[in-house]
Each structure stands twice: as structure tokens, then as C-alpha cells.
Amino acid sequence: MKRLLILVAAVMLIALPVLAQDATPYSDPEGLFTTSIPAGWTQVDAEGYVLFEHEESGVTIALLALPAEDKETARDATWALIDPTFEGAPLQTLDLPGPGGVIWTQYVYLTAGVIDVVIVQIANNIAYVTVVHAPTAGVLQSVAPDVDQVLLSFQPSNTLDLSGVTPAQFDSEMAEALTSYIEDHLNDYATVGASVAIVQDGEIVYTQGFGQTIEEDGQPVTTDTLFMIGSTTKSMTSLLAAMLVDEGVWDWNDLVVDVYPDFALADMDVASELRVRDLFNMSTGVPRFDFPLFLQMVTAEDIIADMENLPITAAPGEEFQYSNQMYATGGYLAALAAGGEYGALYDAYADLLNTQIFEPLGMETSTVDFDMATASPNFALPHAFDVTTSGFSPTPLNYERFATQIAPAGAVWSSANDMAQYMIMEMSGGVAPDGTRIVSEANLHATQSAEIAMPSGGSYGMGWMIQDYKGLTYIEHGGNTGGFTSTFGFLPDAGIGVLVLANRSLDNSFGSAVSEYVFEQVFDLEHTSTVYYQTAEDRLFLIVSQVLASVQTADVDLDAAEAVVGTYERGLEVSIQAGELVFTSEYGTYVLKAVRGAANAYTTTGIDAGMLLTFGDDSVTLESILGPYIGEPQSITLMRVEGLA
């Protein structure tokens, strides 16, 4: 039963991204809602609601809208319409964070193995209901990405529209309320430390540090404390690319092979078609594959060369496929196009960041240099989820070095003060705080414009996600590393933006809650973001803790483990040290436990939990235990290159 509930929760994992799917927009005939229907689903006849059936699995999704003042009434009315003979009681009731800041309630039914999930949201006395019916939980899990896509793209028509509304000036009273709000909720999200800044109409109107640089005995976080900003770095890389377009070094539509003739992908026909803009817009068809990054440090040139070994799962321009390696390749080729030397592209990229962005914007402490950042007297330390304590603990700092090899995709260290300068420029059409233009408005705008639709709603530009906030365009790009989170976004038409840097992994709910609290302040809205994002946080870590805890472990039989000892590809070494089976990568050594009921299978534990290693005669396959539940199923098989037994 516990496993069943985990599966159901994973299917409705609204807080996290889902895999890209080919989909068709659907609009309710009465104009009550819209959504996206993935390929492989067929509309079938139904009266009073719309019904889609998966062609292979038989899973169905019913969608409807009906008048209702509460969710229970809507649920019961839905059953009366869809199946008047149904008499089951919900096995489980959960609140879920849905799109647009709305709390959905999920009712799970199990009848002789058949599973039904009813999801209800209410807006302005209209209930919007989704009913998912599957023959088994396993079958439901098999179509989870499709179901999530329908849910995440669902948009009621009667939502609040702030377009044309002028926000109030963020004043001292709002600042005091925001400070109290953050102080009151920091512990609710287990956020160790955070630094916050607000920009409005080209001015910094709020900066404040909260918490500590490390749990329990760290120094207070200030607005000058350095944090890793993860993928927020991507917008800086696309900014550099835009500058090169301004200079005539390249054009957005130039072919990549004309910039770098040796550029290669698994399909050279695809490689020959890619344009410069495609390096940054997540539409190349190369999917996410981060696993190698966590095993071995390689050079910028290695990242570029390894692109031909990555699979291509869609035609260019057809699907959103997030790839850190592709984005890093774009950044390194920008450095090459700007005159950098092949063989020293990392240094050339770092120099471009310093001379073209950090120095002109007065970002005095920002750097892509890991050693320089961690030599600072004021930097935060990373924290990650520890399954043994169900809390957050400090992680080895060295682990964060993995981002260095893909620096253009996520290796910058910065502070709230520095990032506020950057936000002013992005919101001012390319003009620095001192009035100097560093990029043309047209080419900066190109990076902030939609290039490819995302399955969860909104679009991806070039280093930016373009979303909707109550009828307003919201331009944002967060970032996550092993133990840091960045939230960075702004409402260009309203002239206000918020950034939150935190030293805790997967702290997106906290950052989003703070950002939307500010938006609610200036638009004089009810503060609903608190409940919404706390629900998202609770759902996320319920699933994370349950999935990780579901992997039952046992002590390792060291005699049997001798058979797997050895050196494997990508620098992975498995050995027995001090009576423990461990694997060592370039970033550290990790203790392994045996997985109960699985031959030659071992898993990491504690704060390192989440990786499954399954050994063959001369190989090891590494899998992310959480991967299938967060829309990023990843694995890699490495051959043994030297036996140590």
C-alpha cells in the first residue's frame, strides 16, 4: 500500500518538472478552460465532460467544469455525472500545488486494483475537475509524464488578470512586512540562509540577508554573501551571445558548423542544421543527461567533443529538451567566436564574463572561479536533504565543483547586491545602472522572447523561461546545484523583480513564495502564495523521503563485494576501505549499502542517498533513484577498465 501511494503521488508531482511531450492544445467548447493533450491520446464521446483515452494503456482522463462552492460537492457531482453507480470512498486525500498558485485537492480511490484519481480546484465558484482512471497503479505510472502534462498545462478561463494594473511603490511598510514574513517562514522551509533583493523601476528598493552561511555555527548571511546561482548563469551566457550578435561576430541564425566546423552530434544531419540560437533555446532534441558531470571533471573542449555521444530524441525545434551540456557548448563556442583559443575555452569564457558583464555592471564579487569564491571571507556553504534525519545538512563543498566543467550553464557565484545590478540591466533593456548600454535592446529582447513551448506551460527563450503571472509576462530562470538554489525573475510590464539566493538544495518553493509575496504586496492581493508553496514543499519532500526510504538496505557482504571492486570508466573507483564498500569519484568518496532483494545492487545513503549502482560482470550501471519521479530518468553504464580484486 505504501508503494502504491508513492506511485500515485509521483504521478501528480506538480511541484517538479516533467518530461517534454509532443502535445496539441485543447480548448473547452464553452471557453471554460484550456490544456494540452499529449500525442497518443484520442478524444472519445462523453456527455457533459470531455474524455481522452490513451491508445496503448487504456488510461482515461476526464475534464469538466461545473458550479460548486466546495471541493467535496464538486467531487460528488463529478461521480454522479461520470459514473452514477460509483460508491467508493477515497483511500487518500492530498492537497497539491497546481499551476497559477492554486491548491488542488486530490482524491485517490482503489477498487479491486483499479485506480481512480479525482483532482479538484475551485475559482470563483466554478470547480475544475480532472478524473484519471487506470486499470492498475503500474499502468498509471507508465503514462505519468502525459498525465502531468495535462495537469500542468490546465488553465481556467476565469483567473485574475493584472494586465494594465499599475503596482504600488514598494515602501518601508512593505519592507518591514516582508522582512517579518521571511523571518517567520525561514524555518518552515528549512532554509539555512538566504539573501534577497528587489528591483523596481530601475532602482534597488530592498536588500536583506537572513539566516546563516552554515547550519548552527555559521556567520550571518549578508547581501554581500556569495552563493552559487546555478542555472541563473544561463541568462548571462545568452547575454554574451547577444553582445556578439551586436558586434557582428555571429548572427542568431548562423549555422553552428560555420562557427566551429568540427561541431558534431550523434546525427550529423542535425548538427549541420543547428543555428547559434539553438545552442541556447533547449530545442535541439538532445535530452538532459547530467550523470557524467557528477563523476569526473572534464575540460570545456571535452564537453564539446562529447556532444556526439549524447542521444537525440526529437527533431530540432519540435520539443523542449533541457541540456546543460548543449548550453555549455554554446557558451564555450561564444568564447571561441570572440577570439578565445581552443584548448583554453574555459578561461576565455571566464574572461568574457568578467570584462563584458561583471565589470561593466559593478558586480565586484561575482565570479565563475570556484577557488576564488571559496577563498572569500563571506560565502555560504551548501546544504542538502539527509534521508537519515529527514532534514538538511551541510554537504562537502568540493561536490559543487561539478558545475565548473559546464560553467556557461551554471557555475557563477554571486551575491544579492551584485545580482540586483544585473537585474536592473535586464529590466532596463540592456542599460547598466550607471547609464551605460552594454547590449542592444533588440538582441537582449531576443533572449527574453519565446523560442520553444515547455510542457509544464510557458516557453523557453534563450537562457530565460517566459511564464504567466496573473496575466502578466514573468521572465525568470532559477538555478539549482547540489546545495544551492537561486530564484530570479521579474515582471517587465510592471517594472518589478525579485531575487532570492539560498544555500539549500531544491529550495525553489521558498524563493517563489518570497517573490510572489512581494508581487501580492504591490498589487494589493490576498497572500495566497504562502499556503501554495508550503503545500508544494510538503508534497516534494513527502515524495523524496518516501521514495528514498523505500529502498531497503542491508550491510554489505564484503567477501561477495570483492567481485565488484575495480576502476571503471569516467574515473569511478570501487574499493573496500575501513570495512566499508565505497565508490570514489573526482568529487569525493561515498559509502555504499547493499539493496535488499537485489543481486549485486548497492545504494548511497544518508546525505548522499539517491544513487543506485547495479554491477554486471565487467560493468556498473548507475541510476538516479529519484529520476523517474522528477521527470528526469537517467542512468549510465560504465565498463570496468581495471580490476582491483
- Give ∠ CA 203-209-215 in degrees, rounded to 5: 155
Q: Cell match 517573490: residue?
A: 515
Q: Which residues on adjacent β-strands are paired with residue 38?
A: 23
What are the domain boundaries of the chain?
2-156, 172-543, 553-643
DSSP states along 166-177 = PPPP--HHHHHH
What's the pTM?
0.89
Helix, strand, or coil (residue 198):
strand
Q: Cell match 474524455: residue?
A: 51
- H or E element that contains 532: helix 529-549
For residue 631, the model assigns a pLDDT of: 58
Please state which CATH number belongs to domain 553-643. Answer: 2.40.128
Of 438, 433, 458, nearest to 448 (Cα)? 458
For residue 543, the model assigns a pLDDT of: 80
Would you report the helix, strand and coil content of the chain in percent, each value rounded to 5? Answer: 35, 30, 35
* Spans of the chain below 70 pLDDT: 1-22, 628-633, 643-645
For residue 632, the model assigns a pLDDT of: 64
Q: How far is CA 255 from CA 272, 454, 548, in A?
A: 7, 24, 44
| Angstrom distance (rounded) from CA 588 to CA 97 | 36
Question: 548 near 593, Cβ under 8 Å?
Answer: no
Q: Cell match 570514489: residue?
A: 584
Domain spanning 172-543: CATH 3.40.50.12660: no
Output phi, psi for 113, to 5 deg: 90, -20
User: Residue 472 CB: number of other CB atoms within 10 A?
Assistant: 20
Q: How far is CA 502 from CA 131, 225, 226, 379, 489, in A?
A: 37, 10, 10, 11, 15
Is the torsion defined by CA of 39, 40, 41, 42 positive or negative?
positive
Q: Do 2-156 and 553-643 fold alike per CATH?
A: no
| Angstrom distance (rounded) from CA 465 to CA 448 | 8
| Angstrom distance (rounded) from CA 643 to CA 58 | 48
| Angstrom distance (rounded) from CA 609 to CA 625 | 9
- Per-residue b or e along 6-42, where b marks 16 or more CB atoms closer than 10 Å to that residue's CB: bbbbbbbbbbbbbbbbebeebebeeebbebbbbeebe
| CATH class for the region spanning 2-156 | alpha beta
Sheet-wide strand order for 33-38: 23-27, 33-38, 155-156
